[in-house]
Every structure is written in C-alpha cells, then in structure tokens.
A = this chain, B = another copy of it.
Amino acid sequence: MPKLKEECGVFGIYGHPEAANLTYLGLHALQHRGQESAGIVSSNGTHLFTHREMGLVNDIYTEEVLSKLPGRNAIGHVRYSTTGSSHLKNSQPIVVTYARTELAIAHNGNLTNALTLKEELEQSGAIFQSSTDTEVIVHLIARSKEQSVIKRIIEALMRCKGAYSLLFLSPEFMIATRDPYGFRPLALGKLEDAVVVASETCAFDLIEAEFIREIEPGEILVVSPRGVESFKPFTEVGHKYCVFEFIYFARPDSFMFGRNVYQVRKELGKQLAREQPADADIVVAVPDSGVPAAIGYSEESGLPLELGLLRNHYVGRTFIEPQQSIRNFGVKLKLNAIREVLSGKRVVIVDDSIVRGTTSRKIVKMIRAAGAMEVHMRISSPPMCFSCYYGVDTPIREELIASSLDAEEINKYITSDTLGYLSLEGVMKAVESYKGLDGNEGFCDACFTGNYPVEITDSKVQLKQLQLFDR
C-alpha cells in the first residue's frame, strides 16, 4: 500500500472505426497507472483531434467528447497525480505542429538527461510550454534535419537517456517504441485487423483484443498504411525490466515480462512465508495491493486468511479533517479494522512495501487498537533504499525510511512485534518460478540496491526536488 505513483499508462489503436471509443476503454483499464489526468488524440488520416482533461477517464470521456475525436487511429494516456506539477499543460498526449506536420506523443517513463537537453535547446531559442521531460523529445524531433518523420524520431531518441515506452501518432502513422533496457512495459495486440498497443494486457482483455507479444526493448514499431514495420536502431544492451511493476504497480490480471502478475505476487507471498515465518493465528492483507501476497503467505504457512482490514473505495482526492484529532485519520478514511476478527489474535499483516513508514505505523496501531495481541508485519519486497529515476514517482532518498533505518529500527518505528522483509534473492526466485530468465533478460532493482543501469545525467536532487522543470 505504498504512496508511490506510477508515472503513466499508454494505449494506442490503429485501423479501427471506433478508435477513440476503444482508447477510452483501454485507458479505463489502465486507470490504476495514473488518476490525475487523461488524454486521447485521434487521427482521421488528415488531422489530429485532441481532448485532455484533469480527472478520471470515465468522468472525462462522455459521448459528446468522444464524438469529437473522429478517425480510425488514436492514442491515449493516463497520468499520475502529485501536488507540484499537476497542471493540465503537463497532461498528455502532447500535440505539436512543426513545419506543418502534426504529431502527438504519449510517454510512460522518465528521461534521465532531460534537464541537460532542455537547457541546450533553450540556449538555441526553443520555447517550452510544459514542465514534462516528454516535451524535450518533441523539440529534438522538430529540430532534426532529417526529412522523414521516422528518421527524425530515431535521431531524437538516440539523444535521450533513461526509461521510455512511447507512442507517437501522426495523421499517417502510429509508432510504438521502448527504450533499449525495456524498463517500462509495452504490449502489442490485435483486434480484428487493427493493431493495438498498451502498457498492460488488462486493457486488451476489456476490449477483447488478442495479446501477441511485448514490444521489445529497443524496438521501434511503425504502423502505417504500408503495414507494420519493426526497426531496431539501438545497440543491444541487457534488459532491465522494472521489478516493482510485479511487486506493486501492475494490475494482477495483467501478463507482463512473460508472467502473470497475480501469480508472481502470490509466489512472493509464499517465498515470504518461507523466509519470514511467524508464530501467529491469522494472516491479514493490507488491501488491495497486499491481497495476492497474503493469499500466498496463508497458503504456504497454513495460517488462515481473514478479512481483518476493510477498504473504503469511495475515498476521493481530498478530505477535510475535523479539528478534533482522529487518530490515524488519513488511513482510517481508507481502511477500517474489524475488531471481532482481530481481537485476541496474533496477526500477520502482509503488505507489498514500506516507503516512508508512516502508513505502516498507522496500520499497526489500528490493528492493535482493534484488540490484536501481536502484530507481525511481513513485506513482500526488500527494504526500499533508493529513489527511482526511471518513471516511478518515489520520494527523494532522504524520505525513504529504509535509507536511514535498518529493519530492526523500522520494526521499532512502526511498533510491530516483528517485521520481516523478503530478500532480493527471494524476489528473484519468485519471478523466476514461472519462467527462467533467458540470457539477455534481467530486472532493474535499483530501488533496493542502488545499481542504476542508466547514468543519471541531470542532477538527482534537482530532478526529485524541483518536480522536474516546474516552478
């Protein structure tokens, strides 16, 4: 139940009479990847049509709005919410006209040399409209001396470092591409004769598209009236899939990096039970993200699974706290402990990760207040010690509790009786349990180990503290 926010989710479809309509459904299925804003750009073969707005997909896209997004091709984007830079101007897809060419771009990930490139571009007169790193790509494309748009895009991407799963839409074509390391997912599917791409396969399920394969790291897939063409202009490097997609971000029903997310997550719970057993009476999940691991933990340990924490799904963005102090107010709005279940019990609480530790502390206190005799916190991932620069909105390192406290100190802070993390080896075992890694395949574990596969060109502090280029 971390406060981490995924950057975004993307969806695209080429060659279907209901392109905008299906994009809206695809984005609905990807809503968990970003609830701040949503955007759709459609193409009728001649022009692009855009509608972006702050809010949830289902609130934004009415029949009237969708009717103004004509054409057989469309891409869409959902974006996460943070305080600083949640302005409409930062929402995506970005649409620009340069030299009479219309181009839309939707981005999941994060460039690590965006500030450096931006400064260089501004020196030579570029005017930026948003504070997103994505706009840098657009300016690089506009300034390329290449004639064909595809060559311009390749030239621009050659200069970009970091994580990106990108969709481009022009009146003529759609392009889907993924950075050489493949940090963020991007799946390819088909619906009748239409080509479909999405951050996660759950979007395919809803519209009944068929999953074909993942867009490969370093691949540029061009879909145009000439058909589908694949380019691999980048030097090959070892893949670095984001392991946190498995631990927390992705929807359990998605199939990603060759595995089903729910099953990986349940396996993490089983492995956790093996590594971190507990002498307890019941297993309780922190809903919703802790549920799969809790099922695994219960199954492996033989301890019964109980619904000891209930989630209220009506929680909106802001809530007015009464002046009279309610203990653990923020958590209480979302979770309630069931006294009759917990009272007098030794309880294992299963969650997927601990970020700042404040929420875990509140949950432990809430469970104890409901009468639990012992509280054993079990986390289905290793201590998170490092910030992510590849598209996950982790806080700066200083705010990560595991960057300064060891497990025993964290146990004291969150006031649990015992605290057990899953080891990195345990994570990898769980991931591999469903499919062995092939030679080139690997995971990015920088948030646990600090081993950053791609150099962070921009100053880290700048990047994290300044919310990118936003004032």
- B-chain residues with CB within 8 Å of residue A202 when the two chains form the complex: 336
Contact B260–A340 (Cβ < 8 Å): yes
Given A262-B338, A320-B21, A326-B207, residue A127 in contact with residue B123 (CB < 8 A): no
Given A22-B322, A125-B143, residue A253 in contact with residue B315 (CB < 8 A): no
Q: Does A456 interact with chain B (Cβ within 8 Å)?
A: no
Q: Which of B18, B99, B139, B206 sits near A323, CB closer than 8 Å?
A: B18
Contact A29–B307 (Cβ < 8 Å): no
Q: Which of B16, B62, B295 sits near A320, CB closer than 8 Å?
A: B62
- B-chain residues with CB within 8 Å of residue A226 when the two chains form the complex: none
| 16 residue pairs A–B, Cβ–Cβ below 8 Å | A18-B323, A21-B322, A24-B320, A28-B314, A31-B312, A57-B314, A58-B315, A100-B122, A122-B142, A127-B139, A206-B336, A207-B322, A252-B338, A255-B340, A262-B340, A295-B307
Q: Does A129 interact with chain B (Cβ within 8 Å)?
A: yes
What is the 8 Å Cβ interface bit string for chain A, positions 183-227, against chain B (1 contact, 0 not)? 000000000000000000010011110000000000000000000
Q: Which of B21, B96, B143 sits near A124, CB closer than 8 Å?
A: B143
What is the 8 Å Cβ interface bit string for chain A, positions 330-342, against chain B (1 contact, 0 not)? 0011001111110
Of all A-B residue pairs in the complex, the 5 with the closest CB atoms, nearest first, are A125-B143, A260-B340, A58-B316, A99-B122, A31-B314
In Å, the complex CA distance between A206 and B334 comes to 10
> Which of A63, A313, A318 is the most central at the interface, judged by chain B CB atoms within 10 Å of its CB?
A313
How distant is A47 from chain B, measured CB to nearest CB, in Å? 6
What is the 8 Å Cβ interface bit string for chain A, positions 285-322, against chain B (1 contact, 0 not)? 00010011001000100001111001011111011101
Known: A125-B143, A125-B144. 13 other contacts (CB 8 A): A21-B322, A22-B324, A24-B320, A25-B322, A125-B126, A125-B142, A126-B127, A127-B138, A205-B336, A205-B337, A206-B336, A262-B338, A291-B307
Q: Does A56 interact with chain B (Cβ within 8 Å)?
A: yes
Give the contacts of A252-271 with B (CB-CB under 8 A): 252-253, 255, 260, 262-263, 266
How distant is A244 from chain B, measured CB to nearest CB, in Å? 19
Given A58-B316, A142-B126, A202-B336, residue A208 in contact with residue B327 (CB < 8 A): yes
How distant is A23 from chain B, measured CB to nearest CB, in Å? 10
In Å, the complex CA distance between A438 and B324 comes to 39
In Å, the complex CA distance between A126 and B332 comes to 45
How distant is A245 from chain B, measured CB to nearest CB, in Å? 16
- B-chain residues with CB within 8 Å of residue A229 when the two chains form the complex: none
